[in-house]
Amino acid sequence: MKRLARKSILEIKTYKPGKPIEEVKRELGLRKIIKLASNENTLGPSPRTIKALRDYLPKIYLYPEDSCFYLKGELAKRLKVRMENLIMGNGSDEIMELIPKTFLNPGEEVIYGHPSFLIYEIVVRIMGGRPVPIPLKDYTYDLKGMLKAITRKTKIIFICNPNNPTGTMVSEEEIRAFLKRVPGRIIVILDEAYKDYVERKDFPDSIRLLKKNKNIIILRTFAKIYGLAGLRIGYGIARTEVINLLSKVRLPFNVNSLAQAAALASLKDKEQVKRTRRMNALGKRFLYEAIRGLGLEYIPTQTNFILINLKRGSRRICQALLKEGIIVREMSAWGLNNYMRVTIGREEENRRFIQTLKKILRDF
Ligand SMILES: Cc1ncc(COP(=O)(O)O)c(C=O)c1O
């Protein structure tokens, strides 16, 4: 059957997400499981959001509102853009796929950092594009290296800011200098899935950059700080002409009605966002100290996850954690065999993770 498939998809390595809690329950017969593998907000959605979902339930026999009118209206107001500058997706992943579908011809090149979000390579290959991964420098996107990699065939550049899986970011000044040198015929995607966790003050104001640079697409999501990963909803912000092109390849009803209702309610619950940021900042400090205490190293993060250098193969350690009911991310798919990525969770989750890791490390 392989001969029947499009050549460009054969090289795709099927994406393996973090293991779901229910799967670990089934496979290992464990009951008390915590998942710190996919950078979800373990505080969950706010009570206000859950009420909005309940209230909406009787109406799910209807197709969703294709235009996402109310949600876009609220977002536009908050972001100080027009509704015509927004496109909603079934997760920001969907928009990541819409962009190459809209702009990438077979054989054209797409530059992104490595290690970074694995989906970039997949969406490029789906469209028969050529992935051009540029190694990170000091665990951070090497924008100068990326500029050097631009050729006549370059069509898209992905910048994951802050970067998954390293948690590092590039600053407003760095992005500005970069954009000045990128030809306008290249689409620059700023993937800001973890923006709401950033503590540094020099994070780029990408919406302001959009006013000067017509070739930017900003991606954001409700999956992280808003705690709605299971509903799949994210969005893109771009110039109207870019949104109009993307909308041609978007299928109708791509964002379900419950996701729209929940996202709208979660935007209005500022307290939950504040609570999450506070929890994350405290959890980060706790984990930093505990990781150092175990004689390990970490990459300082601007996100809700930490990349930990275990200084030895991580696969068996991650498996041992799994047997104890703790799901974290083993990093061999990124070529980081000595590392694990752990989501910063609630206080009790962070403590249990550290205590268990400490116990396990005695045997490794
Ligand atoms: C960098 C980055 N971008 C985008 C996403 C996907 O977000 P969504 O759930 O909105 O598809 C993730 C999810 O882990 C991510 O890490």
pLDDT tens, position by position, 276-292 = 999 999 999 999 999 99
Give residues (CB < 6 A) around ligand 1. 39, 91-93, 117, 160, 164, 191, 193, 221, 223, 229, 234
How far away, in angstroms, is 233 Cα from ligand 1 center? 10
How far away, in angstroms, is 333 Cα from ligand 1 center? 16
Give the model confidence (pLDDT) of 105-153 as tens digits: 999 999 999 999 999 999 999 999 999 999 999 999 999 999 999 999 9
Residue with tokens 């499009």: 6
* Confidence at residue 363, expressed as pLDDT on a 0 to 100 scale: 84
Please choose, from the candidates 99, 28, 80, the residue with its C-alpha nearest in 3D space to the C-alpha of residue 327: 28
The pair of structure tokens assigned to 223 is 């999956």
Strand 234-237 with 86-89, pairing = antiparallel
What is the rounded CA–CA span in Å between residue 31 and residue 74? Answer: 40
How far away, in angstroms, is 120 Cα from ligand 1 center? 11
Give the model confidence (pLDDT) of 207-248 as tens digits: 999 989 999 999 999 999 999 999 999 999 999 999 999 999
Rounded mean pLDDT, 177-204: 98
* Confidence at residue 31, expressed as pLDDT on a 0 to 100 scale: 87
Give the rounded percent of residues in the chain with a pLDDT score beyond 70.
Answer: 100
Q: How confident is the model at residue 257 (pLDDT cuts 50, 70, 90)?
A: very high
Asked if residue 126 lies in contact with residue 12, where contact means CB atoms within 8 angstroms, the answer is yes
How far away, in angstroms, is 362 Cα from ligand 1 center? 34
* Confidence at residue 297, expressed as pLDDT on a 0 to 100 scale: 98
Q: For atom 8 of ligand 1, which residue has the closest CA?
A: 91
How far away, in angstroms, is 93 Cα from ligand 1 center? 6
How far away, in angstroms, is 299 Cα from ligand 1 center? 20
Ligand 1 pocket, mutate which of 98, 117, 136 (most atoms under 8 A from CB): 117
* Confidence at residue 338, expressed as pLDDT on a 0 to 100 scale: 97
In the predicted model, is pLDDT for residue 181 greater than 90? yes
pTM of the shown model? 0.97
* Confidence at residue 10, expressed as pLDDT on a 0 to 100 scale: 95
The pair of structure tokens assigned to 74 is 């609220």
In the predicted model, is pLDDT for residue 11 greater than 90? yes
Asked if residue 90 lies in contact with residue 254, where contact means CB atoms within 8 angstroms, the answer is yes
* Confidence at residue 364, expressed as pLDDT on a 0 to 100 scale: 81
Atom from ligand 1 closest to the CA of residue 234:
10
Rounded mean pLDDT, 317-322: 96
Give the rounded percent of residues in the chain with a pLDDT score beyond 90.
Answer: 96
Q: Mean pLDDT over all residues of the chain? A: 97
How far away, in angstroms, is 293 Cα from ligand 1 center? 31
Ligand 1 pocket, mutate which of 93, 194, 255 (most atoms under 8 A from CB): 93
How far away, in angstroms, is 281 Cα from ligand 1 center? 20
Atom from ligand 1 closest to the CA of residue 160:
1
Domain locations along the chain: 2-44+271-361, 47-268
CATH architecture of 47-268: 3-Layer(aba) Sandwich (3.40)
Atom from ligand 1 closest to the CA of residue 93:
11
Atom from ligand 1 closest to the CA of residue 221:
10
CATH (one of 2.60.40.1220, 3.40.50.1010, 2.60.40.1180, 3.90.1150.10) for 2-44+271-361: 3.90.1150.10
Atom from ligand 1 closest to the CA of residue 163:
1
The pair of structure tokens assigned to 61 is 């026999």
Atom from ligand 1 closest to the CA of residue 117:
1
Atom from ligand 1 closest to the CA of residue 223:
9
* Confidence at residue 286, expressed as pLDDT on a 0 to 100 scale: 98
What is the rounded CA–CA span in Å between residue 97 and residue 349? Answer: 34
Give the model confidence (pLDDT) of 125-137 as tens digits: 999 999 999 999 9
The pair of structure tokens assigned to 230 is 């299971």
Give the model confidence (pLDDT) of 38-53 as tens digits: 999 999 999 999 999 9
